[in-house]
Structure 1
């Protein structure tokens, strides 16, 4: 699998990103480089309160990023990610994303680790570098059987709490999940983002947002085993389904925004390269905003 991704995906990304991998995975920022006045969109966590009190004007610390960093993948492999309405399942999309990002990182001297969640957090792979380690990580994902029936609802909070307990040094964390979970994960995600650079990688499938007219269908909850007979020929039912799905989407995006994390959406029907490129462009815009848009302070005042 990794060899195929190196030929079909990573080569394309090499040309499109032109080596600008720091946009996708920012460093740990451990070295203080400078101080400057606070500007709109600056991270308030970087305010230097001593200098602010002394000068009477808010100042922020500017860091030099550490090129060698650790990245963690918190992987939701619960039964719901085994779903896919087409040729691809969300689990396959997750594995391809992890393979691509992990290989890109390790090729540039960084280390990657992972925590795997099924019915609970049962596997922790410490951070290491090298192609062999990426193969080990992918094998651990693929060797896991499909989610067991009636395993119970996903508790994403358990995965996030475990990550906070294990990952001590500031890292980039990719939470890869469909976010179909019991409530209560929002606060742990926000707390994780206060210490680390967190990216929420959402796995989606078009059938989760809108049902086509397929007549009578038996829908089964992959995590509880509950079954329900529905009539998708009824336009009223399809409309209600789409409305509820859209409401859930809006609530989920609002929760991720409140937690202060960037979000990357990966659909089972989308091209992985296009999704990663869109994400890097979004990160570039965020970086420019955090730097004050590149406009000198004296011109802003003017």
Structure 2
């Protein structure tokens, strides 16, 4: 009986040491950010231009390359992880007060277009005593993110921007950008979105940018490019990530379960 009790105590000691080590790894040391690059390639399959042609007039059937830079430890972004997936996203269009950990650029015909970013809220200055307001109203928001769903074998990448500027008596102006992909691959088996490698993919993609200016005097200006993109390959590279929080927590749950089993295991009586 004494030998069995000593064995259980030794198992518990090792498990508790493991839990202490896990806790230290989660909260004890500074995290180092890593930048990962996701390059999506494929073919432009639809769309067109109104006014200014962002990538030239001849784009249908041309190859595209979309590059997303992902920061895995931006303090003002939103991160989530589970046993089946993970995500990094932010920007005022996702949740006010956050910033996007993702920047995006699309290249077609050798012309690169970076999805704009920015966050601003500007109100006119008002003087109640005279009942007048002076200055413009200007709002600017963005979004950017990556979402991995290993259960569905799916990865989403997106970047976007929107602004509105109203100068009373002069003009109002709207600007917007969007680059979005939903990718699928049988090889998207790892829940961590930071899964390096090169993957054959299917799925959908789209790009849009627009500029709309209307002057109160009567003039106007409008241009837009909207494209449908067919992705065929994803390449992921970059720095070595910090241990994923979700993976460390799963390890912790395993240690706790082992401790409970060791505590409950009966010891055979010795004759």
TM-score range, shorter chain: under 0.3
- The structure with the largest alpha-carbon Rg is 2
Q: Which has the higher contact order (CA 8 A, sep 6+)?
A: 2
**Structure having the larger proportion of residues in helix:** 1
Normalising by structure 1, we get a TM-score of 0.23
